[in-house]
Amino acid sequence: MMVYKLEGIVIHTMDYGETNKIVTLYTKELGKVGVMARGAKKPRSRLSAGSQFLTYGLYLFTKGRGLGTLQQADPINPLRYIKADIEKMAYASYIVDFIHKLTDKDVHDATIYEWVYRLLHYMDKGLDPQVLTFIYEIKMLSVLGIDAEVDRCTKCGQSEEGVAFSVSQGGILGRCCYHLDPNALMISSTSAKLLRMFKYIQLDRIGKIALKEETKKELKMVIDAYYEAYSGLSLKTKKFIDQLQGIDPFKRS
Up-side HSE of residue 148: CA atoms within 13 Å toward CB? Answer: 31
pLDDT at 251: 52
Of the listed ranges 15-24, 147-156, 240-249, the least confidently predicted one is 240-249
Q: Which domains does the chain have, with CATH numbers?
A: 2-78 (2.40.50.140), 81-244 (1.20.1440.120)
Residue 60's pLDDT is what?
98
For residue 66, pLDDT beyond 90: no
68-77 and 31-37 as β-strands: parallel, antiparallel, unpaired?
parallel
Spacing of C-alpha 200 from chain mean position = 16
Residues counted in the chain: 253
- The whole-number pLDDT of residue 248 equals 59
Residue of higher predicted confidence among 208 and 148: 148
Query: Do the beta carbons of residue 6 and residue 50 sit within 8 Å?
Result: no
pLDDT at 1 over 50: yes
> For residue range 49-60, what is the model confidence (pLDDT) as tens digits?
999 999 999 999
Separation in Å, CA 78 to CA 50, 52, 56, 165, 224:
8, 8, 6, 39, 30
pTM, two decimal places: 0.93
Q: How far apart are CA 147 and CA 156, in angstroms?
A: 18
